[in-house]
Amino acid sequence: MTEERQRTGFGISLKIGAVLCFTIMGALIKGTEGRVPTGEVVFFRSFFAIPIMIGWLAYVGQLHEGVRTSRPFGHMWRGFIGTTAMGLMFTALTLLPLPEVTALQYATPLFITILAAILLGERIRLFRMSAVLIGLVGVLVVLYPRLSGFGEAGGAESLGALIMIVSAVAAALAQVQVRRLVATERPATVALYFSFSSTLYALLTLPFGWVVPGGMDAALLILTGLVGGVGQGMLSSSYRYAPASVIAPFDYASIFFATALGMIFFDEVPTRTTLLGAAIVIAAGILIIWRERKLGMNRAASRRAKQPPF
């Protein structure tokens, strides 16, 4: 096995590990069963991730660069949007089965494509727009049983589905802001300042009814931050070893992890509708990733062809 393949395989392993960590984080939050206010959950998730992030940056020798920034207000804006998305997702976890939240979360890349065209002026060609539309059909497949449940016994789950869609839109908007930031900022800086800003924003919810969590809930919340921090470090490191287009499809491994954790710990069996919708959205996402990778390879080949032979 060549060194390049080893590096790529290690990058893929890190990405799968990060996806597993984030799925476990969702399961830990769901384990609190809504006994802790969402703002307080966001605080634990963000605050206890900071030592992990700092330790990771120190280990890879990027701590000095990671704390330097020339765009503090850009980070605060990204933090506000990202914290909003996180809080909405945590709320949805208390209302919906874990696999369903995971499936609806797959709408985020679709919304990124749309928002990047609107806010960044990126061109959406027919192929990518077709893939986005296919993905949105998958989202509607997942949503339909919930949208028909308003005013009935399943009204809370219907609300949870809508909250999760708003969370996906907010997460997409946060990622668009990340694209702006990484033009001048290191990815490590973006990740670290998000933990700082989300901790501060979560503290603003303190007057709205924080509680003293019981022993089990406190343990779950602390683990949420630690596991989330480990996942963030693994995610950031994965891009050092493998191209983004190679490891991006492994995001979709989360549906398998979420299904397993949901069945084992919460007695949640995903419906056929959820699995069908998730499959459609995954297919659309992989089509977009494949197309972007192909275009990137074509651009690289074009640049090489234009270079002088000496």
- Nearest by Cα to 31 from 168, 224, 210: 224
**Which are the contacts of 279, defined by CB distance < 8 A and separation ≥ 6?**
138
Q: What is the pLDDT of residue 154?
A: 60
Tokens of 291: 């197309």
All residue ranges of the chain with pLDDT < 50 are: 153, 298-310
Q: What is the pLDDT of residue 310?
A: 34
Domain count, the chain: 1
**Which are the contacts of 110, defined by CB distance < 8 A and separation ≥ 6?**
132, 135, 136, 139, 172, 281, 284, 285
Q: What is the pLDDT of residue 149?
A: 59
**Which are the contacts of 128, defined by CB distance < 8 A and separation ≥ 6?**
113, 288, 291, 292
Q: How far apart are CA 87 and CA 44, in angstroms?
A: 12
Write the DSSP assignment of 121-159 as a string of letters. Answer: -----HHHHHHHHHHHHHHHHHHHHHHTTTTSTTHHHHH
Q: What is the pLDDT of residue 148?
A: 66
Structural domain harbouring 46? 3-306
Q: What is the pLDDT of residue 152?
A: 54
Give the 3-state DSSP-derived string for 219-277, with helices as H, strands as E and coil as C: HHHHHHHHHHHHHHHHHHHHHHHCCHHHHHHHHHHHHHHHHHHHHHHHCCCCCHHHHHH
In 139-215 the beta strands, taken as DSSP E runs, fall at none
